[in-house]
Amino acid sequence: MCYSPSSQNAWESVYYIQNELQGGWLLRGVHHFMAQAMVVLLPIHMLQVIVEGAYKKPREINFWLGWC
């Protein structure tokens, strides 16, 4: 609620969240950690789907719905 995406105020709003807002450092830290975790876990999950053959019948519809 404190972030301003405009090009004039973005840096100041991030600085405010990180340094002045109570718990802002924690919020940004968790966001950063979870974004990195998602980048790692997505390929691992896709490898699991391929290895286990989750794209074959009768689960093929579920597989294609997962891509949407």
Range 33-60 burial, b when 16+ CB lie within 10 A, else e: eeeeeeeeeeeeeeeeeeeeeeeeeeee
Is residue 8 pLDDT above 90, yes or no? yes
Is residue 10 pLDDT above 90, yes or no? yes
pLDDT value of position 13: 93
Is residue 11 pLDDT above 90, yes or no? yes
pLDDT tens for each residue of 14-64:
999 999 999 999 999 999 999 999 999 999 999 998 898 888 888 888 888
